[in-house]
Amino acid sequence: MRQFLLRSSTLCLALAGLLTACATSKPSVYQHEEFDTVGTFSRDYHASAAATCEAARRTLLSQGYVISKHQPEQVEGYKNFQPNMDVHVVIEFHVVCAPDGADGATAFVNAVQDKYVVKKQSNSATLGVSALGSVSLPFGASEDSLAKVGSETIPTVQFYDRFFALVDHYLEEAAASAPGDGGAGKEPAQ
């Protein structure tokens, strides 16, 4: 009897531990948000908001992005990738240029990566025969469609650093070609 009670209590403790482990959930995604002033997604420039967004537009165009929205203080663009036959990736850039004071602007940028996979669907035909009922016959046709399997904001600092370096380049070009200062500025403010 004592051995039975020992086994029962051990089993109860094991079940309680298992239930506790199941009840403990993984931390939510938002708990990793830092909201600090490091600036992965933004840079300050000594240029007007319109000049900064024009440099961002040229940056995206120079890398093969299609511009889907262009306003003086906002640019959006996307580019398609196909790393292999069954995977399709779209990177979408969103740039907002906010004026800062008389001769400065902050460019806020984020890039979202959407991933799709090819989903194959085979088709069949149903034939109604009065003596037999209905018969389903595969006729060998299939359709491929893309199914979205993931979407993520790209968090890599180096990715944005390369983008901002090219924005710097286009702002410098604009300043060099403009008579006088032209409001484009030569260096970003950090």
In this model, does residue 6 exceed pLDDT 70? no
DSSP string computed for 59-87: HHHHTTPEEEEEETTEEEEEEEEEEETTE
pLDDT higher at 33 or 77: 77
User: Could you give the domains of the chain?
Assistant: 38-81+90-113+151-189 (3.30.310.80)
Query: What does 148-187 look like in DSSP terms, one character per residue?
Result: EEEEEE---HHHHHHHHHHHHHHHHHHHHHSSS-TTT-SS
The whole-angstrom separation of Cα 42 and Cα 37 is 10
Closest CA to 81 of 116, 110, 118, 119: 116
| Helix, strand, coil percentages in the chain from 3-state DSSP, rounded to 5 | 30, 45, 25
CA distance 80 to 28: 30
* pLDDT for the residue numbered 5: 47
Count the neighbouring beta carbons within 10 Å of the beta carbon of residue 41.
Answer: 17
Q: In which band, very low, low, confident or very high, does the pLDDT at 186 lie, cut at 50, 70 and 90?
A: very low
Rg (alpha carbons) of the chain, rounded to whole number: 28
Q: How far apart are CA 6 and CA 110, in angstroms?
A: 59
Residue 16 has pLDDT above 60, yes or no: no
- Burial code (b: 16+ CB inside 10 Å, e: under 16) for 103-136 equals ebbbbebbbeebbbeeeeeeeeeeeeeeeeeeee
Percentage of residues of the chain with pLDDT beyond 70: 66
Question: pLDDT for 167-179, tens place per residue?
Answer: 999 999 999 987 7
Q: Residue 51's pLDDT is what? A: 96
Question: Where does the pLDDT of residue 149 fall: very low under 50, low under 70, confident under 90, or very high at 90 and above?
Answer: very high
**Axis-axis angle for helices 49-62, 157-177 (nearest 10):** 110
pLDDT in tens, 101-131: 888 999 999 999 999 998 877 665 555 556 5
Give the pLDDT confidence score for residue 145 in this predicted structure: 81
pLDDT at residue number 182: 46
pLDDT reading at 187 higher than 50? no
Q: What is the pTM of this model?
A: 0.69
